[in-house]
Amino acid sequence: MSSPTTRRNSCRGVASGSRASSECHPRRRGSSCSYFSPGAQTEDFSVSLSQPIFTITLRFLLAIDLWLSKRLGVCACEGSAWGSIRPLVRLVEFSGHVIPWLIGAVYTLVRGESMVEQEIMLNLTLALILDLLLVRAVKNLVRRRRPAQNRSDILSAFFVERYSFPSGHASRAAMCARFFLAQLVDTASMRVVVVGWATLVSLSRLLLARHYVTDVGFGLAMGYCQYSLVERLWVTWACLQDLMLMRLRESLDRAYSGLWMVDWKH
């Protein structure tokens, strides 16, 4: 037989336990749904507003960049929306690669019939080398990864670079287009062809999901400004001949001084 005191204590323990359990259940339910509770949403929103306006704007623009780049990547693979025209888009992409441009510029430089043509091809070769070095430097500095839907093919595994920002094809297309418009093209129809080619090369990088929209935009601006630098540092044949004669004269002076010292010792 239990005493009345023991019964009261046991009843109090059961009551307190039931209260504790009744208090714990709402807490668990609240903790599991805290992400969807109004208080939690207000707290997250206040944290985002407490950030600097520059950070909020940058994140908003990057979100738009990611969304728009994903929407434009309609030729990323054969199963994409426009996967049937992927080979044609890749052909346009290859027309803006640096290797065929360098081979063509050097070949025309060597086989040029006039000095004016050789001078133009010489500066085009130097401009392509400058573009390659500047794009590589910016890519190694930023180190932005390519879009997730980018698919590497057999040829692209050798020609596509690792990083994404900025687009080398876009910068090369803008620089070469402005170079041709200023130096070689003098008719309206050819101007339309050159501008259309540069536009298609830049657009192919987005259709194949090789780059983001900001990569292509910055690449176009970078290539446009590069020609201004090439035009300012334009190398003429007279300047090149003077530089080569100066180097040759210095080499001959060193050789003559070396021979004179040898004869003096003997």
Q: Where are the alpha helices (DSSP H) in the chain?
A: 4-32, 38-49, 53-72, 86-94, 98-110, 115-142, 156-159, 168-183, 188-207, 213-232, 237-265
What amino acid positions are annotated as catalytic residues? 169, 211
Q: How far apart, in Å, do the first and last CA atoms of the chain sit?
A: 131
| Distance in angstroms (rounded) separating the CA atoms of residues 164 and 21 | 56
Tokens coding 164: 């994404």
> What DSSP line would sit under 16-69, residue for residue?
HHHHHHHHHHHHHHHHHTTTTSHHHHHHHHHHHHTS-HHHHHHHHHHHHHHHHH
228: number of Cβ within 10 Å: 11
